[in-house]
Amino acid sequence: MKGTYLGEFQEIVLLTILVLDENAYGVSIQDEISRRTKREISRGALHTALTRLDEKGFIKSRFGGATAERGGRRKRYYQVTNLGRNALQEAKSIRDELWNMIPKLGIQGQ
Amino acid sequence: MRKRNQPPLILKRFFEWFCNEEYFEELQGDLEEKFHQRTQSIGIRRARLAYGKEVMKLFRPSVFKRIKFKYSNNTAMFRNYTLVAYRNLLRNKLFSVINIIGLAISMAVGLIAIAFVSEIYSYDNFHENSNRIYRVTTDLHRNNGETSEYATASVFAGRRLATDFAGFEAVAPITKGLSSNIKKGESTISVQGIYADNSFFKVLTFPFLSGNPETALNEPNSIVLTESTARKLFSKTDVVGETLQWRKDSPVKVTGVLKDPPKNSHIRFDAIGSLETLDDRNSSSVNDFGVIWSSYVYVLLPEQHDMEQIQANLNQLAKEENPKLKYWQFSMGLEKLSDIFPGNGRYNQFGTVMPKKKVRSMIILALIVLFSACFNYTNLSLARSIKRAKEIGVRKVVGASKTHLFMQFILEAVLVSILALVLSYWLFQLIKPEFLSLDFYIQRTTTLDLSASVYLYFLLFAVVIGFLAGLFPSLLMTKFRPVNILKGAVSVKTSKGLSARQVLVCIQFALSMGFATLVTMAYKQYQYALNFDLGFSTENVLNVDMQSNDPEILKTEFLAIPEVSGVSSSSILPSTGSSMSNYVKHKDPQDSVNAFTLDIGPDYLNNMGHQLVAGPGFEEADLSNKAIVNQMFLKKIGINTPEEAIGEQVSFFQKNWTIVGVIKDFHHGTINDPIEAFVFTTGRQDHYHINVKLSTNDIVGTMSKLDEAWQKVDPVKPFSAKFYDELIQDTYSDISASLKTFGLLSGIAICISILGLLGMAVYTAESRIKELAIRKVLGATITNLLMLLGKNFMIIFLLSASVAIPLAYYVYQKTIVSDAVYQISVGFWELANGALLIIVIAILTICSQTLRAARTNPAENLRNE
């Protein structure tokens, strides 16, 4: 089904949320991804990915505490749902299967 | 003071403006946190920059506010407005019907105008580079200072422009005159077309179905056919390489097949022959600078062009070639493709060209009629606005803003105009054939076939009309103050609205009266022209087109029919607009008189009832070089009495003629021409018409006898004849065309204004019904009441008439009789007829309504409060 397809970026976002566990909100996710992938991602791109994941039912969110540096605005914390975990598992198993089928792994000389 | 450690305010605001509320708190919080984080790591300046970048990247649809969601309440209001408008239409059935019918009638005229104008302006827009295509035009300057403007230019000039002058991307000289019978085996078809070379396809866009546009017209005796010509000849279109016969059975090769030229092309043809063919024949139409009469030069200018330089080139060419010309000099210019059709009346156009003036006057007339109908709507809405004041008051109190109310009333008006559009579309189909037969130009160039875009224009037009009609009442009604309305203060008096209404009614009636007066005068002038005493008799004269048969044989055959009382022949028919003239010299060879000439058979004068004043006239015994002149001729040439003139010698047509008779002056031209010197000659034998005088009541029977007689002489060509009176009618077709136009428009204008008046009268009677009842109780007679209600309208009518009549007279003088030498004397009745008629109809309308109100029992009207 097209609706449950997990894009590469979306997969990274899901994994990052799991990594961050209790502390997964906008800025922390953004920072974590930047740190891991060594590439600057915009809040806009992240927003789109989060919205899509939410639409698919892979994540849920709740409002958390506000801080002064946020201008008194609350954070929205994200959590991966069971559906999201399943989707991740499935993506991983497909990959593993493919990896296992490769006869020789290693960088080949020209 | 700016806070140093804050993100830029303007960006914050911007974000707040476009961001969906659902996400705003989270996103704005995240942005700000990130901003502070960045200030620490990369400094305030770059953090601000990064903030801006983030905001821009958030500017995406998934973040935007849900517009539909936010305004959903308004759709409900729109639904309510439509419902209220609908209920209002139903409640005031009479007013609705008046509005819709009035608008529909005038919108039908508007639809015609739209269809007409969009068709006219679509001409030639299919050419790929239409904005860079020009036509070379020629002005011919005679030695006596007169200038004639031609749409044409010689092929020779075109070729020189192509070879000797820079500044043109392509030059396409073409010449008309491919008019021949083309044979394929046994079958022959007649083909009208042009000669051109390959550059024709570079300048203009006429796509090939087969054949090569680069080489198709290289060789002499090659021809490119249009699709339909190819089908006619071969029943197929892939015919490149086939051979046909044309002119004197010489072979011609088909080198290409074109798509048919679209109907909105001013250049039309069945086939294109190669210009080389004419070179081969050594024709003067390609190698003579002076032969411009039916050839055209189309040029394609490059993207970057210098008009002044090109004009200088044209002038240079004229300067080099003009010495070859004897009688006149040429100057050349360029005319944009879009200026060709509709055009400005140069001579020798490629086909019939709609004059720009006609298109403009069409638009103006349509606008006038439209405004008149809009006034009706405006008027009736204003009049009824008081009735709706309560609704407005309540709406305002519960929170409707001015904009909302404005929208509501405009919506109502648009609804009415869209309903009217449906009706007017039907009317449009009804008057379409009438319009198409209106005059010569329209017949030849217009089809009024509707394209999809025209339908869109129609709809747009209805919306605009609705908006315009509803604008004024909407503005006025939204100004009502709710407190006054609900107290009932508005209903007492709105003198402001009343005067505006009076002005509108006045303009409307002025228009109707103006049109009616114009029609009256145009009709009288038309009748006058038809019944004009020409000085000879045209009654029961049937003019038979000779079609190059022998006149003497035909005459004998016709005379054998008992119903034919006389037969004669002539070269042209006087009083039908055609004429020939020549310079006639008397004794002094330096002194000449311009005289109109007509060659006739000897029986002509007698047959047509001309009166000889002196001399024997044409005598069968000796007809060589004899002439008969009119009295004006004697005056012009300086001979005092008719008797003196007999036997005098005059010279023209390089011959000497003896005057053998003088006839009474007669009108040889139309009512636009004064009587001039006139000479009848005989025996020159270039006769085209046989004038058959009939004395019978059985026209049909006689016609069939004439037809039989014709068949004996010429079994191939059909008998073609027209009564002289019909021919004269055709001559004045331009007056009859304007008569039809103004007749139609005045009918429409009168309909609309009377409808409007009916509405006003109903309203006035209704709103003053209590007053009338009380007056009646107190002893007023019905006449008194009629006077009371009618008085205001009478003043309006008189005012309208005093504006309309002088204006109509002015327009009449400027358009219909601008060229006429002989015209009707315009008196009181000619001027006042139309206005009086309308006033009578209007008074009847008012009376009918007032009487209804005045006749009812006053108790009925006073019972309820």
* Proportion of chain B above pLDDT 90, given as a percent: 18
Mean pLDDT of B12-32: 86
CB B459 within 8 A of CB B425: no
- The reply to whether B23 touches chain A by the CB within 8 Å rule is yes
Phi, psi dihedral angles at B124 (to 5 degrees): 65, 15
What does the pLDDT look like over B324-343, one tens digit per residue?
Answer: 887 788 999 999 999 998 88
What is the rounded CA–CA span in Å between residue B172 and residue B160? Answer: 11
Distance of CA B446 to the CA centre of its chain: 9
pTM for the full model?
0.68
The Cα B95–Cα B412 span in angstroms is: 13
> Between chains, do B27 and A47 touch, taking CB under 8 Å as contact?
yes
Greatest Cα pair distance, chain A, in angstroms, is: 58
B211-250 residue pLDDT tens: 999 999 998 999 999 999 998 888 888 899 888 888 777 8
Mutate to test the interface with B, among A31, A34, A42 (most CBs of B within 10 A): A42
CB B656 within 8 A of CB B687: no
Q: Is the ipTM of this complex over 0.90?
A: no
Per-residue pLDDT of B131-190, as tens digits, reads 999 999 999 888 777 788 889 999 999 999 999 998 899 999 999 888 777 888 777 788
pLDDT of B493 over the 50 cut:
no
Q: How many residues does chain B have?
A: 865
Which of B25, B46, B66 to substitute to test the interface with A, most A CBs within 10 Å? B25
Q: How far away is chain A from the Cα of B63, in angstroms, using its nearest Cα?
A: 8
Q: How many CB atoms lie within 10 A of CB B71?
A: 11
Tell me the chain B residues in contact with residue A65 when contact means C-beta distances shorter than 8 Å. Answer: none
Q: Is the pLDDT assigned to residue B106 strictly greater than 80?
A: yes
DSSP-assigned states of every residue in B600-650:
E-TTHHHHTT--EEES---BTTB-TTEEEEEHHHHHHHT--SHHHHTT-EE
Q: Do A48 and B60 touch (CB under 8 A)?
A: yes
Q: Which residues of A touch B26 (CB under 8 A)?
A: 26, 73-76
- The whole-number pLDDT of residue B187 equals 78
pLDDT, one tens digit per residue, over A36-74 is 888 888 888 899 899 889 888 899 988 887 777 788 888
3-state helix, strand, coil in chain B (%, to 5): 55, 15, 30
B60 shares contact with chain A (CB less than 8 Å): yes
* pLDDT tens column, B556-602: 889 888 889 889 888 888 888 777 777 888 877 667 788 888 888 88
Measured between CB atoms, does A45 come within 8 Å of chain B? yes
Number of other residues whose CB lies within 10 A of the CB of residue B114:
20
- Ranking A8-12, B270-274, B766-770, B810-814 by mean pLDDT, the lowest is B766-770
Q: What is the pLDDT of residue B337?
A: 92
pLDDT at B426 over 90: yes
Within B322-397, residue ranges assigned H as helices are 356-384, 389-397
Q: According to the per-residue pLDDT averaged within each range, which of A14-28, B56-70, B539-553, B685-699 is highest? A: A14-28
Residues 6+ apart with CB under 8 A from B608: B536, B537, B538, B541, B568, B691
Selected residues 16-35 of chain A with any CB under 8 Å from a CB in chain B? 25-27, 30-31
Helices B67-91, B93-121: axis angle to 10 degrees equals 120
Up-side HSE of residue B466: CA atoms within 13 Å toward CB? Answer: 23
The rounded mean pLDDT for chain B is 85
- The pLDDT assigned to B494 comes to 47
Which of B29, B36, B59 minimises the CB distance to A73?
B29
* Structure confidence at residue B69 (pLDDT): 45
Contact B440, B733 (CB under 8 A): yes
Report yes or no: A67 at the B interface, CB cutoff 8 Å: yes
- Per DSSP, helices labelled H in B122-259 are 155-164, 199-203, 227-234
More confident position, B575 or B73: B575
Q: Are B767 and B491 in contact (CB under 8 A)?
A: no
Contact at CB, A27 and B37, closer than 8 angstroms: yes
CB contact under 8 A, A26 and B26: yes
pLDDT score recorded for residue B489: 57
Q: Do residues B487 and B721 touch, judged by C-beta distance below 8 A? A: no
What value, to the nearest 5°, has the Cα angle with vertex A16 and ends A12 and A18? 120
The reported pLDDT for the residue numbered B865 is 61
Write out pLDDT tens, residues B707-758: 888 888 887 778 888 898 888 888 888 778 878 888 888 888 888 888 888 8
Looking at the complex, report in whole angstroms how far the Cα of residue A33 sits from the nearest Cα belonging to chain B: 14
Which residues make Cβ contacts (< 8 Å) with residue B769, sequence separation at least 6? B853, B861
What lies within 8 Å, CB to CB, of B747 at 6+ separation is: none
pLDDT exceeds 80 at position B210 = yes
CB atoms within 10 A of CB B274: 24
Identify the pLDDT of residue B311.
93
B30 and A67 in contact by Cβ < 8 A? no
User: Which residues, other chains included, contact B433 with Cβ-Cβ below 8 Å and sequence gap of 6+?
Assistant: none
Rounded distance, CA B760 to CA B755, Å? 9
Which pLDDT value is given to residue B159? 92
| Contact in structure between B395 and B80 (CB atoms under 8 Å) | no
Mean pLDDT over B512-525 rounds to 89
Report angle CA A70, A76, A81 to the nearest 5 degrees: 160
Sign of CA dihedral A16, A20, A22, A25: negative
Would you call A43 an interface residue with chain B, using a CB distance cutoff of 8 Å? Answer: yes
CA torsion angle B24 B25 B26 B28 (round to 10): 70
Phi, psi for residue B742 in degrees, rounded to 5: -65, -35
- State yes or no: pLDDT of B68 exceeds 60: no
Contact A44 B32 (CB under 8 A): no
Q: Which of A10, A23, A25, A27 to mutate to test the interface with B (most CBs of B within 10 A)?
A: A27
Tell me what the mean pLDDT of segment B497-520 comes to. 84
- At B1, the pLDDT band (50, 70, 90 cuts) reads very low
Of residues B854 and B51, more confidence is placed in: B51
Beta bridge partners of B851: none
Contact B54 A44 (CB under 8 A): yes
How many residues are given for chain A?
110
Residue B5: phi and psi, rounded to 5, are: -100, 35
Rounded Cα–Cα distance for residues A60 and B296 (Å): 78
Who has greater pLDDT, B327 or B611? B611
Query: Is A30 close to B34, i.e. CB distance below 8 A?
Result: yes
Other CB atoms closer than 10 Å to residue A37's CB: what's the count? 12
The tens digit of pLDDT for each residue in B613-648 reads: 888 888 877 778 888 999 998 888 888 888 888 888
Please report residues of A whose CB lies closer than 8 A to that of B54. Answer: 42-44
Shortest alpha-carbon distance between residue B412 and chain A (Å): 43
pLDDT grade for A107, boundaries at 50, 70 and 90: low
Chain B closest CA to A88's CA: distance in Å? 24
* Identity of the residue numbered B54: E
Measured distance CA(B768)–CA(B561) in Å, rounded: 76
DSSP B311-335: HHHHHHHHHHHGGG-SSEEEEEEEE
Q: DSSP class of residue B132?
A: G
Phi then psi dihedrals of residue B152, to 5 deg: -100, 170
- Residue B467, chain A, CB below 8 Å: the answer is no
Q: Which residues of B touch A42 (CB under 8 A)?
A: 53-54, 57-58
Best of B28, B57, B63 to substitute, by most chain A Cβ atoms within 10 angstroms, is B57
- Evaluate whether A64 touches A24 at the Cβ level (below 8 Å): no
